[in-house]
Chains A and B, each alone.
Chain A
Amino acid sequence: MSNPTDFNPVRWLMRNPIWGFVLIVFIFFSLVSDHFFDYRNFQNILVQTSTIGLIALGMTLVMINGNIDLSVGAILALAAAFAVDVQSWAMFATWGNWQILPAVCLALLVGIVLGALNGFIVWKTGVDAFIVTLGAMLGIRGLVFVYTGEQSFYAMNFAYSDFSALSVGPLPVLAIIFLLCTLAVHWVLSRTAHGRNTYAVGGNREAAVNAGIRVGPHMMVNFMIIGFLAALSGVLLSTQMGAATPNLGRDYELWVITAVVLGGTKLTGGKGDIIGTFGGVLAIGILRNGMNLMQVPAFYVYVILGSILIAVLFLDKRFNRTADGGLRL
């Protein structure tokens, strides 16, 4: 086993093939596009990826737990609808810009509560998280349509939509929020007892129970974290648009899972980290941005991303095979 202090970049890249890919697409687009290697474009990429990125952080926890959350896109839409709608409620009419505060708080609370509900059902019924959150995805999306009456809500307070244009120094606020959350979740996962238990529960649930870890409540906390992050992502997305549409966040669960899996997190649980997930998020962000700059039609992005997803996982299997070799199919 290597010493933690001797850092070997080749070894590191073999364990995190997605960062090799990030490097390649970064260099590629810098060479072929005139507009890509530009500070303002980098800001753009960070802001564009923050939506999926925030949810991917939570998804990493949930997936290391051996679960999955398909309801994030729907939670995002419901939270966004609340954030935009509540600020124009009559009771906050005299609050001025402060009307945004209860709206955002309520939206985030909705995310946490829905996450808690997902987690609670998984805990108490023992039904697979895939099924529970598939149901939640359909149900919550339905609630969004009921709530919005199939209409878009528009933010009447311009301070709300101006928020997304704010910068602190060189960095847009949205990028800062994303980066701070990334750091926070990275710390939770790699350095806290909760993070350690996340790996243990996903790696061997029975051993975790036998070690006295309260597995049910533990999983619920991670569902609450992803619910919160999905809602936060919804709020930030609606500030960018100045509106909340009922179809907001459609297919986001697929993008998020793609990013997390690209980052090396195993669907079966027990393995993964935020460094990988961040790489996965950036890979998708750079690819979409770069191809957009080169005016490649958006559908090709799907084709290429799909191919890359399989290629990266193949490389991961090649490089990180155990001495056992795995099964030849």
Chain B
Amino acid sequence: MRNDTAVLVKRVDSGEDASLDEIRDLARAAGYDIVGEVTQSRQQDSAYEIGRGKVGELRALVERVDASKVVFDNELGPYQVYNLGNEIGVEVDDRFTLILEIFGDRAGSRKAQLQVELAELKYELPRADAKANLANRDERPGFMGLGEYDEKRKSDMEDRISRIRDELGSLSERDEAWRRERRRSGFELVALAGYTNAGKSTLMRSLADVDEASNHPDIDDTAESRNELFTTLGTTTRRMDVPGRNVLLSDTVGFISDLPHWLVQSFESTLDEVYLADLVLLVVDASDPVEEMREKLVTCHDTLWERVEAPVVTVLNKADLLDEDELAKRVEAVRYLAPDPVVVSAVEGDSLDELVGRVKDELPDWERETVELPMSDDGMSTVSWLYDTAEVLDVEYGERIRVEFKARDEIIAKARNRSPLETETVAAR
């Protein structure tokens, strides 16, 4: 992690919130020491984003505090970055390059690295023409490697994007095959989703079955839980103890507001873990101020809506930081977005049993089935397999083995194939 100093800048239209809280957390997560902050409420300036007078103030501040970088909490165009770098004399980043910087630092797996590179290229591509044009002038701070920009650079970027997409496509197919195999093995997939720093990884640790985790080949132990943004960039999967069900719980990248479509799309392969789950637990930091909590929930719904088909259960986490009255106010304030939330504290372990019960209730119904198996080694092996993959309700041993159980469709189909006799199915619930 770097040890550079940064000045934060944000321009808002009149009447908008000029809070720097989130960009401050992002800059810290990227390893910057924040040495100054500037906000301005005015219309956007096409050349500098902020007003010309403010640029002068910013330059003076940067010189006084000896900052090595300026980070805008706005999206900047290439000419704005060029002009600002020219005037201020240090490198200038915007919100998205800062996020990409954090992603780049934390991308551990091949998939995460490819997704970050794809996002960087998608960010750069529309700027390539402008940068090639600017490269003909001279190099300026904030335009590292500007001299490389020429027409060939743009086609190289397009080729690289195409190759990354192919590789990500292969990785997605592999992931889909894993999901299919897990489901065939009787597992149901529950995904944690939510705004960054909502406490997903802490909840993961609290809900995961640690003993089982160490024995399962699909499970790794990379879940992190720190009070920082984007601590989880890849996907971590662990077994979750839900009575009568075999559940795998996945934790993945957090959401953040105002992300452009191309950036979210770059992480589609990781987000598939959420989109293709059987149930989504949408984790919300209940200790946030009400309006912030509401806005973060809207961002989460915006990120999820196009592809998620599974039921979404909202989990109001960090409830231990509030008293009962304040909690009740929060529940009511977000009732429209989260009509039926579960209030928990992952850190204290409070109400996690209720959450587990809710997971069981919301997962797709299992069917009830009865099979008759031959009294043989194969028959006994099938009984053992049913104990692993289904909820066995009753077993009678006679000339044949009669097993009554509840399971998902794939398991029932497999059990029927192993049973030479007719079977009967009734709805489990």
The answer to whether A and B interact is no
A residues neighboring B (CB under 8 Å): none
